[in-house]
Every structure is written in C-alpha cells, then in structure tokens.
Amino acid sequence: MELSRVIDEIKRIPQDRLSEVYSFIHFFRLGLESGSPQGDVSELATKPMLKPLSPPSNYDFSDLVGRLTWQGNAVAVQRSLRDEW
C-alpha cells in the first residue's frame, strides 16, 4: 500500500480524534520494532484508546486520590519552593 493513501485517510480524520490515531500508530510501530508478536488489529479497535497527550485545562485529579504519598515535611518543602520566587 502506498504511504500517500494512508496519509490521505489520516487527513480526513477530525482534529479531535487524531490523538487516538497517533496512539494506535505509535504503539503498533513500537511492537514492530521490539519484534513482539502483533495481535489482531481488530482487537485494538475494541480497546479504549489513550487519553490525548495534553490534559484538558480543567483536569480532575480525583483519579489520583490515595495513590500519591509524600515522605518528608510537606510544609517545609512548600516554604522552600515559595522562597525561591
């Protein structure tokens, strides 16, 4: 298949969906480079795609609750960062 035909199809994809196409192409290429066996492409179509590379401006951090831990004195670190300004 010609590369120009692939590029023509990609140009027809809406801007807000390009991150999904990029994720598919990127991970497909990584699989080829690593030599790992590739699954059926239709299998990939049923899996949820990765989120866009840049988070939305009003990102909800609730999915991180309980996963992050801080070891040390958080107030002291905040003060040192504040004093850098």
pTM above 0.85, yes or no: no
Structure tokens at 61: 């951090």
Percent of the chain with pLDDT over 90: 4
Q: Does 76 or 60 have the greater pLDDT score?
A: 76
Residue 33 has pLDDT above 70, yes or no: yes
Residue 38 has pLDDT above 60, yes or no: no
AA identity, residue 29:
R
CA distances from 14 to 9, 18, 35, 83 (A): 11, 7, 32, 46
